[in-house]
Amino acid sequence: MTNTAPPTADAHPAPGAGDFAARAHQVAKVYGHGDAQVVALDGVTVGIPRGRFTAIMGPSGSGKSTLMHCMAGLDSVDSGQVFIGDTQVTGLKDKHLTRLRRDKVGFVFQAFNLVPTLTALENITLPMDIAGRKPDRQWLDQVIDTVGLRPRLKHRPTELSGGQQQRVACARALASRPEIIFADEPTGNLDSRSGAEVLGFLRDSVRRMGQTIVMVTHDPTAAAYADQVLFLTDGQIVDTMTEPTAERVLERMKGFELPGVGAR
């Protein structure tokens, strides 16, 4: 059953609204000039509810990665506003942006997630090290146990499997208790079993620890782990689905009359 009601995000969120961990308001982003111009985001307005696991889905080229980069303060927008919590991200100077990423945002990337010269534990505590803060020992222990990495803490990334590396990345994102975690195709490079482990772990951290997570993916199976799915096409949010299952997501994706629809 496709939810055809206007997406949650369309209700223009008022600044200071407490139930969103991050919001984008009329965000537009264009790459290139002239003939090579690509409209990546075309006035997207969306809110990421606090304490939920949100997946952003769309065919390749739909602008889903760009949306995430812009919402996370990694990339600049051409117009519109982005908020994380109560802080307006757009217009922030690099110094404050950096502090915001450090203190309020966690990241899990598709690949090259870890600093190769540091051990697993050092990678997990790296954001705190950078900030010059002592990690909360108890919390850290809980995170490490949840991801099941205790026996592997002293290993370097090259000595870990892909799934283990991604779990280290998740632990790193969680360890500093950020307001929101952005995950960019976190299972893109993993086999299905490791992928399921990582996704289950992300879902658990939302359910048990109240973490907010946004995940970009084009894999309906991965999206099914989320609490809600936002569909993005041509730089615009076109649909929202709560309580998704892989079948429903796949079905919905097939509806997009675009080349590459339902890839995978």
Partner 1 sequence: MMGKVTLRNLAAHKIRLVLTAVAVILGVAFVAGTLIFTDTMNRQFDDLFDDIGKNVAVDVRAQKVVDADDDGAAARPVPASVLEKVKAVPGVKNPVGNVNGYAAVVGRDGKLIGGGQGPPQLGTSWTPGSGTYDMKSGRAPNGPAEVALDTGTAEKGRFAVGDTVKIVTAGPPQRMRVVGLIDIGNMMGATVTAFDTPTAQRLLLKPGYFSDIEMGTTGPGEAELRDRVAKVLPAGMEAVTGEKLREESKSDVAEFMGFFRTFLLVFALISIFVGAFIIFNTFSMLVAQRTRELALLRAIGAGRPQVTRAVIGEAVAVGFVGSTFGLAAGAGLAALLQSQMGDASLVFTATPVVSSYAIGILVTVASAYFPARRAAKIPPVAAMRDDVALPQRSLRIRVALGGLLVLIGAALVGVGLGGGGGNPVALVGVGAFLVFIGIAMLAPVISVPVVRVLSAPFAKVLGTPGRLAQQNALRNPRRTAATAAALMIGLALITVVNVMGASMRTSIESQVDKQFGADYLIQPDGGGGIGEEVAKKVAGTPGVDDATPMFAGDAKINGRKASYIAGSAATIKSAAKLEVKSGTATLGRDGMMVDEDSAKKQKWTVGSNVPVQFTDGRTQILKVTGIYAKSDIIGPRVIPESVYRAHTARPEVDVVIVNAASTDAATKTAIESTLKDYPNLKVSDQAALKKDARKQVDAFVSFLTILLVMSVIIAAVGVVNTLALSVIERTREIGLLRAIGISRRQLRRMIRVESIVIAVFGAVLGMGIGVAFGAAVQQSLKDDGLSELAVPYGTLVAYLLVAAVIGVLAALWPAWRAGRMDVLKAISSE
What whole-number distance in Å separates Cα of residue 245 and Cα of residue 33? 40
If one asks whether residue 172 binds partner 1 (CB under 8 A), the answer comes out as yes
Tokens representing 122 are: 């050092």
In which region does residue 93 sit, left (phi positive, over 0), alpha (psi from -120 to 50) or beta (all else)? beta
5, 11, 38, 115: which one binds partner 1 (CB under 8 A)? 115
3-class secondary structure, 83 = strand
Q: How far is the CB of 181 from partner 1 (least distance, A)?
A: 11
If one asks whether residue 107 binds partner 1 (CB under 8 A), the answer comes out as yes
If one asks whether residue 126 binds partner 1 (CB under 8 A), the answer comes out as yes
| Contact set for partner 1, span 177-206 (CB under 8 A) | 184
Stretch of residues binding partner 1 (CB under 8 A), selected from 6-14, 50-58, 115-123, 191-199 = 115-123
Stretch of residues binding partner 1 (CB under 8 A), selected from 54-62, 95-103, 197-205, 247-255 = 95-103
3-class secondary structure, 213 = strand
Stretch of residues binding partner 1 (CB under 8 A), selected from 32-40, 120-128, 238-246, 249-257 = 120-128
Q: How far is the CB of 174 from partner 1 (least distance, A)?
A: 12
If one asks whether residue 93 binds partner 1 (CB under 8 A), the answer comes out as no
Tokens representing 44 are: 């997207």
Q: Which lies closer to partner 1 via its Cβ, residue 57 or residue 249?
A: 57
65, 187, 211, 217: which one binds partner 1 (CB under 8 A)? 65
If one asks whether residue 110 binds partner 1 (CB under 8 A), the answer comes out as yes
What whole-number distance in Å separates Cα of residue 135 and Cα of residue 85? 22
Q: Phi and psi for 195 in degrees, rounded to 5?
A: -60, -45
Q: Which lies closer to partner 1 via its Cβ, residue 75 or residue 204?
A: 75
Closest CA to 134 of 173, 176, 102: 176
Closest CA to 239 of 247, 250, 231: 231
Stretch of residues binding partner 1 (CB under 8 A), selected from 125-133, 143-151, 231-239, 244-252 = 125-133
3-class secondary structure, 54 = strand
Q: Which lies closer to partner 1 via its Cβ, residue 122 or residue 234?
A: 122
- Give the number of other CB atoms < 10 A from CB of residue 154: 10
If one asks whether residue 129 binds partner 1 (CB under 8 A), the answer comes out as yes
What whole-number distance in Å separates Cα of residue 185 and Cα of residue 244? 17
Q: Phi and psi for 53 in degrees, rounded to 5?
A: -105, 110
- If you count DSSP H runs as helices and E runs as strands, how many of each does the chain have, helices first? 8, 10
If one asks whether residue 122 binds partner 1 (CB under 8 A), the answer comes out as yes
Q: Where along the sequence are the contacts to partner 1 (CB under 8 A)?
A: 65, 69, 74-75, 94-95, 98-99, 101-103, 105-107, 109-118, 122, 126-127, 129-132, 172, 184
